[in-house]
Structure formats: structure tokens, C-alpha cells
Amino acid sequence: MQRLTALLFTVSACAVLAACGAPTADEEQDASAPAADMSADDSASMDEGLDGAQDMMDEAEGAEAGSLSWALEGDWRGDDAQARDAYRHPQETLEFFGIDPSGRVMEIWPGGGWYTDVLAPWINANGGEYIAVWSDIAPDNERALAFRQSFEDKFGDEPFGDVTMATFDSETGPIAEPGSVDAIVTFRNTHSWMSRGIAEKAFSDFYDALAPGGVLGLVQHRLPADRVQDPRASTGYVQQDLVVSMAEEAGFELVEASEINANPADTADHPFGVWTLPPVSRTSDFGEPADPNFDRAPYDAIGESDRMTLLFRKPAGE
């Protein structure tokens, strides 16, 4: 197993949410979820990846080795993960972001690694560097630490390459040397930064890490513009104009917005926020037992959430 390089810039002593909790990728928990809780969706994703690690050296059929299609068709991706491609459009999204797999590419709060399964082997095959940026974890948060360790174990071997680990959170310092990263991507995390009051820091930290001309690709659950925005984004939905404004205040330029991940059927007004929809499919408030009488049919029919897909760039002259 190849080593994982740790970038230890600052480690805060406070208890914070790890990639298995609410403020992480894959909308596995709501904004009030405690740090140690891992959703069944994230757990299953990790288990599938570990089970498939033994034979993931087999090249995917029908795609040129090293291509994005090859990474998407890889044996290391479980059937459940590939089934969600229909909602998450990873090929179209990464192509829209213009990611160069030979560069230094950073993913913020990757959760169970749904996108890591695609990004890491693709980048490794093209001589680039994939950097997984996790939230800070308190030393006594054993479950969160174990979840992060399982992530490191899974993505510490071929075809994923030498995955680099870094940390971003409320008390952390720079996530990389200034100007050293070519691209940053983040999926369904903006509401979590808002819930913890660190959205301004997030965009500022990303801006500092990117090289001039570097790109930030962002996907986020979208709140209709005519709705009232909760400053803490407790439903998981955020207005697109607000996200653009926060990025621009940090210095980014909006290059383009795409409807790749749009879902017009999503009304964004569900009883348990965005987590009412698949893949979390909540039937009760967080911490409460599942409600067997809750009618899931209309929410399952909607599918996954309506999402904005935004491409920002750090000005080349910076």
C-alpha cells in the first residue's frame, strides 16, 4: 500500500464534524448532525469500495485506459455508486469544470469518496496529484477517526495512487501552499459551511490555495430565488445568487453556470430538508427512529435534488 502524504498545517482542538457528518459531501447528514454519526449511505459506499479493492486493478472495458470514461467504468466503483451517475452526471460535470488530470486537483470534504472513486484513479493515471481535504476531527471522536482511517485505507493503493490528505475547517490554516493548486472541486458542501459560519473562510482559503487562472468547480443543492434564505441553510438548500456572491467577494470570477445537475421536479420544500430525498431518504427528524408510515413515494419519484453547477476562476493576473 502506497503511503498517504499528510498535509498538517493546523489542527484545532475543538470537536468538529468529520467527513461522515453533516457538513460533508454526499448530503449524508443534516446540519445538526453530531460529528460521530455516519449515514448508512456513506457506510455502504465505503464497504463496497473496500470489498472491490482486491480486483480493482482490472481495466474497465470499452474505454481508453486513463480516460475519464475509464475511471467511471472502473471495477472499483460499486453498482450502487454507478447507479447514481444518472443523478450526479460525473462525466459531464468534470468536463464542464475543465479539470486537467495531470495537475494538482483538490476535493473539499469528500465524505465516503463517491467522487474520489472517479477522481483519484483518473488523476493518478495521468501523472497528477489528488488531494482529499477533510474537516478537522477531535482526538476523542473515535468513530469519525475510524471513518477517516477507512477512507485512507481504501484510497491508499492502486489504482488511486498516492492520495494526499489535508484539512479545512473553522480553525485550520492554509489548505495548501499559496498558489500551488490547479483546481478545487466540492460537491454539496456549501450549506454545511453556512451552517457552521465558515463559508467566507472557505472561499477565501480556496482562493489562496489556487494558482492564478486556477478553477473552482462547485455543485450545491439549489433554493429557488423567490424563497427566504436561512442564513444557516438548515434545509440544505442555498440560493445560487448567494453562492456566486460569496465566491466573488473572495475574488473569484464566475466563468459559467450549468444546468447539468438540475432537477425541475425538486420543489425544495420537503419535511426533512434535502435529506428527505434520495439517497438519504429520511422519514423522520434527525435522531428520531424511522417512521414506517411516512409516504416516501412522492419523494422517491423526485429523485436526487435540484443542484446548481458553477465554475469559478481565480483571475490570471492575481
| pLDDT digits 0-9 by tens, 16-65 | 333 333 334 444 443 333 333 344 344 444 444 444 444 444 444 568 99
User: Does 213 map to a domain?
Assistant: yes
Q: What is the CATH number of the domain that holds 264?
A: 3.40.50.150
Q: How confident is the model at residue 157 (pLDDT cuts 50, 70, 90)?
A: confident
Residue ranges with strand state E in 36-137:
104-108, 129-134
Q: For the chain, first and last CA: distance in Å?
A: 39
| Statement: residue 1 has pLDDT above 50 | no
User: Does 40 map to a domain?
Assistant: yes
User: Does 318 map to a domain?
Assistant: no
Percentage of the chain lying above the pLDDT 70 cut: 80
Q: How many domains does the chain have?
A: 1
User: Does 262 map to a domain?
Assistant: yes
Is 282 in contact with 260 (CB distance < 8 Å)?
A: no
Helices (H), 21-133: 40-52, 68-72, 79-83, 85-88, 90-97, 116-125
Is 166 in contact with 9 (CB distance < 8 Å)?
A: yes
| Statement: residue 263 has pLDDT above 90 | yes
User: Does 231 map to a domain?
Assistant: yes
pLDDT of residue 43: 45
User: Does 112 map to a domain?
Assistant: yes
Kindly report whether the peptide bond that precedes residue 121 is cis, defined as omega within 30 degrees of 0: no
| Statement: residue 299 has pLDDT above 50 | yes
User: Does 228 map to a domain?
Assistant: yes
| Statement: residue 5 has pLDDT above 50 | no
Each residue's pLDDT tens digit, 123-156: 999 999 999 999 999 999 999 999 999 999 989 8
Strand partners, 106: 131, 184
Q: Which residue has the higher pLDDT, 28 or 241?
A: 241
Q: Range of 168's domain? A: 5-313
